[in-house]
């Protein structure tokens, strides 16, 4: 690669990965390119998109609106966005908070901001005014761009908005003229972009160390952190593209929300790295039936969905659909063997798991054609050296659990974060020549990784290490269980023991009969130290918009019950069924 430009290095690695036929071959050919100057939007996307009439994006929503955009149209529209923002005072390095639903415009904006050398900070559409103010301050924001329905909430963020260069109001296709009803003149109409030139020529160099994306983490166990990714981040997502097995003729649908890194992963960079068509579907509330109808109608070939979505899909009748699916994957939450088995039964396809973080690209996954042991995530991605380490940064023996760590020296993977907005936290995660993920796992003798849980989720009970994920996977095998979340709680003897929160499938009642059936099932399947000593039925779990269970909220709720010396409305203790379970009551 000595005489190649940085853009040519990217293309060569992309082409090689799309052509390999085995994981072993991918390991042999994969080497991170050395890059110093590269802008994915101008040097790759625009070159690929110019005069290219192939469909780049298919948009649909529950109101019946549909729109197809070619690569050439997307190139021109994103150029108009770049010229528009530049006219509003945008300078290289400016940071943009985007608070939008999925739409055609969000793809135009991602590309347009990238072409200007700016920094994109996606925001969850569920943020409160205080959250918005916090993100503007911590992110050092210059522009806020939002769909019209969110601007009233943004205005409530207060005086911090006065220091911005511009507030930009984007109408949504579902109510195309709604922006005209908004009278506040401080908001600039996104429709003005249509008045600008469709060609854009940057007058600066984009260095790969410049900051491209900054993501706020979902905060399932703690305060959200701000994760910083530089401009070589799209190159890092070649590992994601390889895991997804995307080719130019694919139509790829990733079920994710724009406020999170997973959207950038699998709804933006990975599919367009492959030259594939992206499908995006806007809805107010997720409806599995309507989603399956869209997958059929638009002949989706590649589908990525989190565990929570697959749980809903397996309850539906797949035989009534005429799908064109060829590959299905899951990420965002660890899969459990029972759901994997059910999905593969109804689809006839291998459900391949992928593991990564907001801080990384795809780190560990099951590539196409690889058969993995039940419960395994797969093997390390090409380009990443991953070990299971103890607290002294020594590799642990096979089969023993420890923290997943990614080697950062002598070569730092291009998909790895630059760092957090917190230097103390950076000192915690970067130690020696390793990035410490904060996730616990073990590796078998064949190199397969098995996820245990977040390091701050795993807890000790009766001097045994408890993995919530492991307990949840076993409970999920009961026919009545739709979702389960396990946390530590305190029993009547002041011991730390597992508690299971359970959402039941339709048709099952939150009563003593169901609770007893579950306790019997648990006692027949689990070692005594792992068994939840209490079960609480819930209508739904507290979740992030990306569908991850908010364990910190479950713990807080359980602590409140303990402080009030009461139990939940549908909470049942193992001791409630001492006679039926033949328990020895302890005082």
Q: For residue range 269-302, list pLDDT tens digits in order.
A: 999 999 999 999 999 888 999 999 999 999 999 9
pLDDT at residue 227 is higher than 70: yes
- Class of 459-577 in CATH: alpha beta
Strand ranges (E), 125-165: 143-147
Distance CA 517, CA 104 (A): 49
Give me 257's structure tokens.
């929300």
pLDDT at residue 179 is higher than 50: no
CB of 522 closer than 8 Å to CB of 473: no
Q: In which band, very low, low, confident or very high, does the pLDDT at 565 lie, cut at 50, 70 and 90?
A: confident
CATH code of domain 70-231:
3.40.50.12780
pLDDT at residue 102 is higher than 50: yes
20: how many CB neighbours lie within 10 A of its CB?
Answer: 17
Q: What is the pLDDT of residue 549?
A: 67
Pair type for strands 302-304 and 251-254: parallel
CA neighbor of 438 nearest in space, from 554, 360, 551: 360
CATH code of domain 385-455:
2.30.38.10
CATH architecture of residue range(s) 1-31+237-383:
3-Layer(aba) Sandwich (3.40)
318 φ/ψ angles, rounded to the nearest 5 degrees: -70, -20
Q: For residues 228-234, give the mean pLDDT.
A: 98
Distance CA 84, CA 61 (A): 27
3-state secondary structure of 175: coil
* Reported pTM: 0.83
pLDDT at residue 328 is higher than 60: yes
**Tens-place pLDDT, residues 448-480:** 999 887 766 666 665 566 778 778 888 988 999
Q: In which band, very low, low, confident or very high, does the pLDDT at 111 lie, cut at 50, 70 and 90?
A: very high
Sheet with 143-147: strands ordered across: 187-189, 166-170, 143-147, 95-99, 119-122, 211-216, 226-230, 419-420
**Tens-place pLDDT, residues 543-558:** 655 556 677 788 888 8
Domain borders along the chain are 1-31+237-383, 70-231, 385-455, 459-577
Fold match flag (1-31+237-383 vs 385-455): no
**Tens-place pLDDT, residues 364-403:** 999 999 999 988 999 999 999 999 999 899 999 999 989 9
Q: For residues 207-233, give the mean pLDDT.
A: 84
Count of CA atoms in the C-beta half-sphere (13 A) of 433: 11
Distance CA 275, CA 11 (A): 11
pLDDT at residue 435 is higher than 70: yes
Strand ranges (E), 100-232: 119-122, 143-147, 166-170, 187-189, 211-216, 226-230
Distance CA 257, CA 237 (A): 18
199: how many CB neighbours lie within 10 A of its CB?
Answer: 12
CA neighbor of 346 nearest in space, from 328, 319, 373: 319
Q: What is the pLDDT of residue 174?
A: 54
CB of 235 closer than 8 Å to CB of 206: no
């Amino acid at each position: 690669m000595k005489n190649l430009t940085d853009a040519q290095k990217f293309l060569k690695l992309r082409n090689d990965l799309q052509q390999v036929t085995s994981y072993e071959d991918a390991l042999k050919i994969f080497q991170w390119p050395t890059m110093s100057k590269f802008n994915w939007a101008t040097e790759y996307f625009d070159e690929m998109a110019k005069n290219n009439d192939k469909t780049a994006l298919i948009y649909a929503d529950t109101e019946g609106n549909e729109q197809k955009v070619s690569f050439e149209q997307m190139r021109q529209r994103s150029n108009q966005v770049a010229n528009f923002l530049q006219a509003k005072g945008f300078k290289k390095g400016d940071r943009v908070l985007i608070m939008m639903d999925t739409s055609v415009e969000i793809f135009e904006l991602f590309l347009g901001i990238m072409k200007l050398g700016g920094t994109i900070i996606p925001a969850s559409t569920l943020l409160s005014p205080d959250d918005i103010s916090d993100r503007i301050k911590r992110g050092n924001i210059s522009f806020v761009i939002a769909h019209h329905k969110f601007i009233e909430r943004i205005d409530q963020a207060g005086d911090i908005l006065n220091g911005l260069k511009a507030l930009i109001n984007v109408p949504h296709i579902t109510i195309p003229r709604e922006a005209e009803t908004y009278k506040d003149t401080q908001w600039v109409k996104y429709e003005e972009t249509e008045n600008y030139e469709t060609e854009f020529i940057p007058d600066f160099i984009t260095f790969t160390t410049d900051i491209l994306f900054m993501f706020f983490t979902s905060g399932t166990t703690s305060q959200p952190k701000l994760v910083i990714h530089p401009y070589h981040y799209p190159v890092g997502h070649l590992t994601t593209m390889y895991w997804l097995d995307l080719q130019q003729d694919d139509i790829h649908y990733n079920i994710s929300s724009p406020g999170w890194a997973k959207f950038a992963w699998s709804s933006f960079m990975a599919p367009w790295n492959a030259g594939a068509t992206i499908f995006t579907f806007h809805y107010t509330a997720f409806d599995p039936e309507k989603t399956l109808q869209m997958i059929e109608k638009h002949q989706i070939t590649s589908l990525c969905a989190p565990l929570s979505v697959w749980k809903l899909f397996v309850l539906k009748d797949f035989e009534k659909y005429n799908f064109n699916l060829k590959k299905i994957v899951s990420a965002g939450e660890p899969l459990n063997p029972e759901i994997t088995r059910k999905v593969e039964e109804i689809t006839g396809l291998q459900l391949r798991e992928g593991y990564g973080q907001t801080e990384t690209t795809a780190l560990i996954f099951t590539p196409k054609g690889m058969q993995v042991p039940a419960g395994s995530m797969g093997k390390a991605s090409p380009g990443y050296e991953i070990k299971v380490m103890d607290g002294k940064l020594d590799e642990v023996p096979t089969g023993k659990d420890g923290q997943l760590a990614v080697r950062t020296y002598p070569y730092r993977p291009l998909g790895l974060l630059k760092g957090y907005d917190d230097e103390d936290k950076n000192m915690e995660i970067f130690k020696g020549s390793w990035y410490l993920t904060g996730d616990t796992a073990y590796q078998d003798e064949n190199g397969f990784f098995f996820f245990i849980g977040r390091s701050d989720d795993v807890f000790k009970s009766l001097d045994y290490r408890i993995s919530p994920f492991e307990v949840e996977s076993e409970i999920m095998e009961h026919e009545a269980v739709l979702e389960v979340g396990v946390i530590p709680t305190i029993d009547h003897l002041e011991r730390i023991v597992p508690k299971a929160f359970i959402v039941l499938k339709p048709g099952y009642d939150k009563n003593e009969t169901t609770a007893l059936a579950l306790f019997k099932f648990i006692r027949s399947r689990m070692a005594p130290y792992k068994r939840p000593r209490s079960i609480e039925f819930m209508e739904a779990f507290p979740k992030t918009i990306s569908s991850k269970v908010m364990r910190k909220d479950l713990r807080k709720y359980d602590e409140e019950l303990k402080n009030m010396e009461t139990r939940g409305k549908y909470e049942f203790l193992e001791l409630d069924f001492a006679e039926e379970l033949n328990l020895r009551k302890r005082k």
